[in-house]
Structure 1
């Protein structure tokens, strides 16, 4: 659920749990899109009035990569909004305030219908580089590159948050959280190997940049 009303999110989380529905909530589109890539949910509840950008734009962003069913939620009940939402790819539209039981019924209808739908292959495209985060696949200048599991996890972490600076300790903690036997020095080794496979360099980085006394960030140019 992508909605900036925390009280509503909490109430719905508690309500739908009794119907064996696990609801993950995000307050901004950026967090919602990240969660969508990480968790591959069965359905998205999407508010229209959001910070960063409106729900119609977010719906378009989702539809570029996913066939995941979308129910749009909004306090605006105008017919034109409903038509627009459906035209850009939403599967259903529910105006606020709504009865939670009706929402559960609509969710179940779409989930039953969604059994025949398949999710498009997710791809992150940068200049000269395509990353398929769900399929452990890396394509550099049109050629698929052999990459170890740990190298790919490191790349997926950095490229999944372009521009964010990760300290060595943060990278270490993230990789350890993936159930791996990682120690501080191995992060440097992984970064070195990853740069070699990307034909990148610390002196003139195309993808992974070292920020002195701070850490590392992904600087690939998004397409």
Structure 2
């Protein structure tokens, strides 16, 4: 597996190289966005580790440039490396096109697990657009992978990939309560992943529907147990 890291801390990448090599990962180093783009243009990588705080461009700007580039690497899995891992920072990273994030200082076993998870999800997706699902008769929720959207009653919102995955897992459960760990498994993450990620994603989905005028939540929280979609539409 080929991994590219973009981080202006030159020592960090050098320390990571021998550790990742033990797991069959060849790490290439770049210390500035311009250098990283040259390497992406020249070589094929399986995943990009991207520092959120860079001197030329911040990590969000680099991620946006990659996603909108129209080049073969536009869909490369990107893992954010960040010294800030509060709720707002996680939301910004996930909404901005990152596939996952790892807090600094980096714990190498966690990093290896997250790299493996994002690469597996990309491989399993296979670049194939899923067929449009039928309306979920249990909840009244309509999900569209093609249009990356959700419709609940008269309310429609656009979704990120992770939001779509979470809603699909809940809809498929047909009212059965899913714990955060259950949902993480359904969306392709491992037990090493931060379960608070699910809270973040569900918060964003709820907020999107509230912004459209939905007064009550169709995603039900059961304290200490997890989440499910309500059996009856309440708009």
Query: What TM-score results when the alignment is normalised by the length of structure 2?
Result: 0.49
Confirm whether residue 88 of structure 1 aligns to residue 92 of structure 2: no
Confirm whether residue 2 of structure 1 aligns to residue 10 of structure 2: no
Post-superposition CA distance 1:8-37 (Å, at most 9, x none): 100111110000100111000111111111
Match of 1:58 in 2: 62
- Return the match for 1:44 from 43, 48, 57: 48
Q: Secondary structure at the match of 1:98?
A: coil
Between the aligned partners of 2:34 and 2:13, the Cα distance in structure 1 is 17
Question: Is the CA contact 1:67–1:117 (under 8 Å) kept in the aligned structure 2?
Answer: no
Q: Mark the CA change 1:117 to 1:58 in structure 2 (over 3 Å): closer, same or farther.
A: farther
Between the aligned partners of 1:78 and 1:112, the Cα distance in structure 2 is 26
Between the aligned partners of 1:29 and 1:82, the Cα distance in structure 2 is 22
Query: What TM-score results when the alignment is normalised by the length of structure 1?
Result: 0.51
Post-superposition CA distance 1:82-108 (Å, at most 9, x none): 111110110001110121011001111
**Unpaired segments ≥5 residues, structure 2:** 128-235
Q: Offset of 1:110 from its aligned partner?
A: 1.1
Q: Offset of 1:63 from its aligned partner?
A: 0.7
Q: Secondary structure at the match of 1:101?
A: helix
Match of 2:176 in 1: none
Question: Map of 1:1-223 to 2, 5 A cutoff?
Answer: 1-65=5-69, 66-115=74-123, 116-118=125-127
Q: Secondary structure at the match of 1:77?
A: coil
Q: Secondary structure at the match of 1:112?
A: helix
Task: Give the greater-gyration-radius structure (CA).
Answer: 1
Post-superposition CA distance 1:148-190 (Å, at most 9, x none): xxxxxxxxxxxxxxxxxxxxxxxxxxxxxxxxxxxxxxxxxxx
Between the aligned partners of 1:88 and 1:117, the Cα distance in structure 2 is 22
Moved over 4 A (4+): none
Between the aligned partners of 1:117 and 1:25, the Cα distance in structure 2 is 27
Q: Secondary structure at the match of 1:23?
A: strand
Between the aligned partners of 1:69 and 1:26, the Cα distance in structure 2 is 17
